[in-house]
Structure 1
Amino acid sequence: MNDIINKIYDIIWSDALVYLCLLTGIYFTIRFRCPQLTQIREMIRLLFDGNSSDKGISSFQAFSLAISGRVGTGNIAGVATAIAMGGPGAIFWMWVIAFLGSASAIVEATLGQMYKEVNDGEYRGGPAFYILKGLRSKAFAWTFAIVTIISTGFLLPGVQSNSIGAAVESAFNLSPSVTGLSIAALLAIIIIGGVKRISTVAEYVVPFMAGAYILMALVIIGLNFTQIPAVISLIVKAAFNLEATFGAVAGMAISWGVKRGIYSNEAGQGTAPHAAAAAEVSHPIKQGLVQGFSVYVDTMFVCTATALMILFTGQYNVENPNGGFIVQHLPATEMGPGFTQQAVSHHFPTIGNAFVALALAFFAFTTIMAYYYIAETNISFVSRKKQHKTILIWVLRLLMLVSTYVGCISTAKSAWTLGDIGVGLMAWLNLIAILLLHKKVLTIYDDYREQQKAKKDPIFNNDKYNFPNMELWSKKNSDTLN
């Protein structure tokens, strides 16, 4: 079974997907005239613009819900894994995919808004919806929806809970089985409350958890301020095979940097459009820009904070593809959250392990919440009959709780491999879809820019363009979208 899983992994995560992610980001950056830089002030302004409604959540709630999906175990364990497999140079390529991926995130989130619909009194949307309505391909849309239900409902939660279990066991000597049961019980209370409860929890927990973690990182960066030039130099040199020590993994730096970058910030993967579609905004581009900014928060802030803590303190290993280690500073530590725990403990031996374990628990738990919302949205897509949908949602809840518990007691390698398969499958399907649909987004982006230049608060009216299957954006519905 392991051989079969590994072969599937090698096919999905071939160099083709790595280059598809990079080239898509480059293309959108050029085509949309570098929106991730030119619209940075607008991104920040829009975070706090608009309010929630009976049907939708506010821009900040949608941002928090998306960030709860983006900021997870990838920001702590994923960064450590990237360094372990690709050397310090992998961090540079995580930065690259974040910058380029921000453009992809703007496109996919805008599409989520464009083709959203009202389902059971709430806005629902995502890649399955814009594939069906924009590309008019039911088979393609159903394929994405089913892959996403399997990925976010069964494959990805185990990665998050596995990292929580490992970190908590290291810090508090608590059995992973006990941790798994506790996570599952708390998760059950929240997900049964639906999207409103999930977004409310994310709105309060996400800023707190990200702020506390970055604050700790800033303290450690401050204590090692003089090392910043040397560490940045190491990252850049290793990325371009200019550092002899890491020559053996120079080729893997790009692969692991992109791979872990996508896993962490999810740009182009197709998860964030689900949260973006739930927002109440007056123009689709508004939520696209908010989601583009969330990629920066995830990678440029949180992932970079983790990487600098690890590299400042030298608490990491780098595996040699031919066997053994190129660098082995932690002989008894498996790659993952242990690197970050050791890095924080280097300066704060009393609280280091516990702090990282708690941060990881918050990060990973809110990510599992976001996964549930995404899976539920795709169940709403494939099952339009209320009775059938209710049954499927309860089956999803039960199996997701089981998956969360099983992931907690599984080995890290098996959990990450299955998670990467889920991420890769979604990325393949979604990147193809947004490449085929991006011209419509470009038209809407030009409409937004025209209104910006006229000093107006942009409002979109589809009667001007008559794009099919965008009923919520016609003039008669525009009064509800403000």
Structure 2
Amino acid sequence: MEQFIAGANAIMWSLPMVFGLLALGLYFTIRMGAPQLRRIPDMIGQLVRGGSSSAGISSFQAFAMALGGRIGVGNIAGVATAISLGGPGALFWMWVTALLGAPVALAESSLAQLYKHKVRGEYRGGPAYYILEGLGRNWRWLAVAYAAATVFATVITGPQIQANAVTAATTQAWGWDPLWVGLAMAVLFCVIVFGGMHRLARTVGLVVPFMAAAYIIVGVVVVALMWQQVPAMFGLIFSSAFAADSVYAGMLGAAISWGVRRAVYSTEIGTGSGAQASAAAHVSHPVKQGLAQAFSAFVDTLFVCTVTGLMILSTNSFNVLGPDEETLLVERVPGIEAGPAWVQTAVDSVIPAFGPAFVAVAVFLFSFTTLLSFAFYAETNLAYLIPNKSVQRACIAVARLGLAASMVFGAVQTSTLVWSFADFGVGLYTWVNILALVLLSPVAIRLMKDYDRQRRAGQDPVLDPRAIGVRNATLWEQIHDEYERTGDVTAALDHVADTAPDTRAISVVRPHGERGQG
């Protein structure tokens, strides 16, 4: 099994596949007019404005839920493994992925909003929904493949690495038994997720901002105290990113591959995960939520991952393996495995007796919010796959318990094994979603242009899907019709949220939707 997973990962994360993701980001950047730069004020403004409803959550709650999924062990252990296997230059390629990936996050989240449905009284959506609604019944197999792969990854493979990182950090800090830590996390997780989506949104919304801010502040303090090392550190990052440094000659491919791989795992750009949270948001135009989610890519990588990388590099708390992933090129922390322990060592070297405990708490919060988001993503895709409501509820309950069991299992495994499984799970649904984004790129670009047109006219954008030639966006047709009747967009959104009947994507695709929108 381990050999099969390793072989599959080598294919899914090969350089041609990695460059394909970057090329898609560059394409959206050009066709959308670099929204990740010119629409930054709108990104921030959308997080402040916007409300929630009986069927949906606020933009900030959806942003926080997606950010909770993005800010996880990838921001600590993931950055460490990227440096270990790709050298310091891997951090540069993480930045590139975030910059080019932001329009991809915008596109997938806008599409999720466009083709969302009301399921069990709450808004649901994501790649499985927009594949079928946007491309038509002939692509149903791709939608089912995405939904099944996401359930597998969020219930089985993903939780293992989250719990494993927590146990590694708590063992380093306090010597706690991994099994008991895993069991305690599983119990706390079940208490929260069985409370429903709105409780989940509130919990994540409260924890994520505090979690990210505290970690960034400590990281800035550590780097500031090591200010004399900063110029040389940035020089090393840029030189090794292109294998110009003699020590890292021959590692260009590794730097790119591991930088992009860990950035994708951390930000979930291109995976469609954040899009599932976006579909639940209460907004007047799909691009509004797309912009909010694009901003989460910046927060995740340009802030949180960068802070981790700078702490590790400025304090020389890292080792680097050669291209064969066995020979040590650099050994600065002998005997310490790449992961949270590197960050604990980094902080402890500057602020003695503080690092191990602080990082252990940060890893727990990062990981736990990711696990809560995993529960939401699994539920969204099970709601898509299973039409019968009673069976659906039973399967969702089983999935939540299975996710908790995966946490306990991963808590006592080796980090190498669980990272391999995590990469496999993410790779499965990422490449399905990228294919869908390529096919639906004309629709995403049309949405962005419609938003820009209304903003240039001084309007608060409200979507009329029929005006831009988009079909199968049933909820948005109802919202616009109600807005035309009342002239009040907030009232229109609330009315549709309260009165629209439950639907299911697979049952409402109209005959003329066969050809899709591309």
> TM above 0.5, one fold?
yes
Which residue is 1:439 aligned to? 442
For residue 289 of structure 1, what is the amino acid of its counterpart? L
Q: Tell me which of 281, 299, 305 is aligned to 1:303.
A: 305
Q: Tell me which of 115, 130, 139 is aligned to 2:141.
A: 139
**Structure 2 residue 88 is the aligned partner of structure 1 residue 88:** yes
**Structure 2 residue 19 is the aligned partner of structure 1 residue 19:** yes
**Cα deviation, residue 477, structure 1:** 4.8
Q: Tell me which of 445, 468, 476 is aligned to 2:481.
A: 476
| 2-structure distance, mates of 1:87, 1:462 | 47
Which residue is 1:160 aligned to? 162
| 1-structure distance, mates of 2:475, 2:328 | 56
Q: Tell me which of 222, 246, 269 is aligned to 2:248.
A: 246
SS at match of 2:251: helix
Matches within 5 A, 1:107-146: 107-136=107-136, 137-146=139-148
Which residue is 2:512 aligned to? none
**Cα deviation, residue 6, structure 1:** 1.4
For residue 493 of structure 2, what is the amino acid of its counterpart? L
Q: Cα deviations across residues 172-217 of structure 1 (Å, max 9, x unaligned)? A: 1001001000000000011111211111001100001101100101
Matches within 5 A, 1:66-215: 66-136=66-136, 137-215=139-217
**Cα deviation, residue 463, structure 1:** 3.6
Matches within 5 A, 1:236-315: 236-315=238-317
SS at match of 1:481: helix
Large movers: runs of 4+ above 6 Å: none
Which residue is 1:357 aligned to? 360
**Cα deviation, residue 49, structure 1:** 1.1
Structure 2, gaps ≥5 residues long: 484-490, 495-518
| 2-structure distance, mates of 1:80, 1:159 | 14
For residue 81 of structure 1, what is the amino acid of its counterpart? T
| 2-structure distance, mates of 1:385, 1:476 | 30
**Cα deviation, residue 7, structure 1:** 1.5
Name the TM-score, length of structure 1 as normaliser.
0.98
Contact 2:32/2:449 (<8 A) preserved: no
SS at match of 1:332: coil
| 1-structure distance, mates of 2:305, 2:450 | 34
Report how many aligned residue pairs link the two structures: 482
Contact 1:85/1:249 (<8 A) preserved: no
For residue 403 of structure 2, what is the amino acid of its counterpart? M
Which residue is 2:515 aligned to? none
| 1-structure distance, mates of 2:215, 2:354 | 13
Q: Tell me which of 422, 426, 434 is aligned to 1:423.
A: 426
Name the TM-score, length of structure 2 as normaliser.
0.91
**Cα deviation, residue 17, structure 1:** 1.8
Deviating more after overlay: 228-237 vs 96-105: 228-237
For residue 375 of structure 1, what is the amino acid of its counterpart? A
Q: Cα deviations across residues 204-247 of structure 1 (Å, max 9, x unaligned)? A: 00001101100101111211223322211110100011111111
Deviating more after overlay: 342-351 vs 243-252: 243-252
Q: Cα deviations across residues 353-405 of structure 1 (Å, max 9, x unaligned)? A: 01001001000110011011001100000112111101111110111111011
| 2-structure distance, mates of 1:164, 1:329 | 24
| 2-structure distance, mates of 1:88, 1:257 | 9
Which residue is 2:514 aligned to? none
SS at match of 1:280: coil
**Cα deviation, residue 457, structure 1:** 1.0
| 2-structure distance, mates of 1:19, 1:338 | 31
Distance 1:57 1:396, change over 3 A: same
Q: Cα deviations across residues 117-153 of structure 1 (Å, max 9, x unaligned)? A: 1111100000000001001121111011001100111
Q: Tell me which of 370, 373, 390 is aligned to 1:370.
A: 373
